[in-house]
A and B are shown apart, each in its own frame.
Chain A
């Protein structure tokens, strides 16, 4: 059979059209599994804590321990009770067992006293990340400080570097563990375990990159502060009604 140059071109053209139609069909019908709808670039996570609403019940601590299987005696979040006497240099601070079972009753009504829930401040410029010698801890593209437990050596540099005392060495894994801002929940559309279980709404998860998040209105209308602002860590956990005595 003789094939002229013209035949060759038309045949090639037909083949090309067929192939492109096939490829387009595959794209439309989606023969492969739909990709994960969570886009890291669209989020920048943080938290708001309203000290005026915290009742020190310890629900957040219990929720965190249950959700993340935190070993007993270690805490990713905890609650401190401050009792400040006028004229005294140091406030009285207690947090019995991280407040996992609430607090024993404080009866001294004339002291200035309040509860301060604490957790990883998810610093954008985090000292713990800067000191890690092996790249085992990092700020994710959506602003959460995480630990790669397969890379962590357990050298504890980051435990010392954290100005907020938010890290600990996991007693069984011997790698560093910390609050992940419930990364496994927030990337699936849920809120964190602590925020889910706070009965008074004293803490809530916020997404600074979401223009519809009420956080923007909240930050406009309220006076907020981060912990240890002089450390310049760009912490993303904002406290409302924070007293100057809180460290």
Chain B
């Protein structure tokens, strides 16, 4: 028996080392991989909460009209009825949460109107477009048009 162990020792010893290494690997693996990994697929479910936890910057249409119902009424009567408030006024979730914390700035009219209404061959033909340089002779858009209901 002793002779047998002596002869097979060079196989048994590396086998023991291998088993120990595999054991160590399993222990480390269990320690490093989160418990719920693979709950929905090959990823960490906690990542979903991480992505969800990002702050909201645009409050959304319904939130704005809760207070600003006069402007909403004016807008609803005109061509801009389906343009969201924040599309022109910018992200104002912070203002919606605490109105005093942020005072919305008035939009930069010259740029704002031009982006949508400057004539461009690629725009749909039924969309109202003007060549601003020829249209108003340099006058600001809102000196004639009321932005919430732009009809003259």
Contacts and interface: CB of A to CB of B under 8 A. Distances in A.
Interface of A: 40, 52-59, 63, 66-68, 81-83, 101-103, 105-109, 111, 113-115, 135-141, 146-151, 180, 183-185, 187-188, 190-191, 193, 196-201
B56 A190 contact: yes
Nearest to B123: A55
Name which of A55, A58, A135, A140 has the most chain B CB atoms within 10 A of its CB: A55
B142 to A, nearest CB: 17
B146 interface: no
Interface stretch (B2-10, B20-28, B78-86): B78-86
B95 interface: no
A52 B43 contact: no
Contact of B115 (A57, A68, A137, A149): A57
B121 A113 contact: yes
A190 B44 contact: no
Contact of B116 (A81, A184, A199): A199
Interface string B104-144: 00000001001110111111100100010000000000000
20 contacts: A55-B116, A58-B115, A63-B86, A63-B91, A66-B91, A102-B115, A102-B116, A105-B119, A113-B122, A135-B37, A138-B43, A140-B48, A141-B40, A150-B47, A183-B48, A185-B56, A190-B60, A196-B87, A199-B83, A200-B82
Contacts of A137: 43
A88 to B, nearest CB: 16
A40 to B, nearest CB: 8
B122 A81 contact: yes
Contact of A151 (B47, B83, B120): B47
B87 A187 contact: no
A149 B50 contact: yes
Given A151-B44, A196-B86, A67 B91 contact: yes
Given A55-B127, A140-B40, A199-B80, 15 more contacts: A55-B120, A59-B116, A66-B90, A67-B58, A115-B122, A115-B123, A138-B43, A151-B47, A184-B53, A187-B52, A191-B60, A196-B86, A197-B86, A199-B82, A199-B83
Nearest to A185: B56
A102 B140 CA distance: 19
B42 interface: yes
Given A67-B91, A101-B115, A135-B43, A82 B122 contact: yes
B44 A135 contact: yes
B51 A106 contact: no
A57 B123 CA distance: 10
A183 B51 contact: yes
